[in-house]
Amino acid sequence: MIGLWTLFYKELLRFWKVSLQTILSPLVSTLLYLLIFSHVLEAHVQVYPGVGYTAFLIPGLVMMAMLQNAFANSSSSLIQSKMNGNIVFLLLPPLAYWEFFSAYVAAAVVRGLVVGLGVGLVSMWFTALPLAHPLWAVLFALAGCVMLGAVGIITALWAKGYDQMAAVQNFLIMPLTFLSGVFYSINSLPPFWQALSRYNPIFYLIDGFRYGFFGVSDVSPLLGLSIVGTCCLALSLATLALLKSGYKLRN
Mean pLDDT by 10 residues, the chain (251 residues): 91 92 89 81 70 87 95 94 87 90 97 94 85 95 97 95 91 90 85 90 95 92 96 97 90 60
Query: Residue 93: its pLDDT value, please?
Result: 86
Q: Which amino acid, residue 42? A: E
Distance between CA atoms of residues 199 and 146, nearest Å = 19
* Residue 42: predicted pLDDT: 67
Chain length of the chain: 251
Q: Considering only CA atoms, give the Rg of the chain.
A: 18
Of 115, 198, 98, 92, nearest to 150 by C-alpha is 98
DSSP letter at 186 equals G
| Cα–Cα nearest to 232, from 105, 103, 146 | 146
Measured CA distances, 236 to 2, 130, 157, 228 (Å): 22, 33, 14, 12
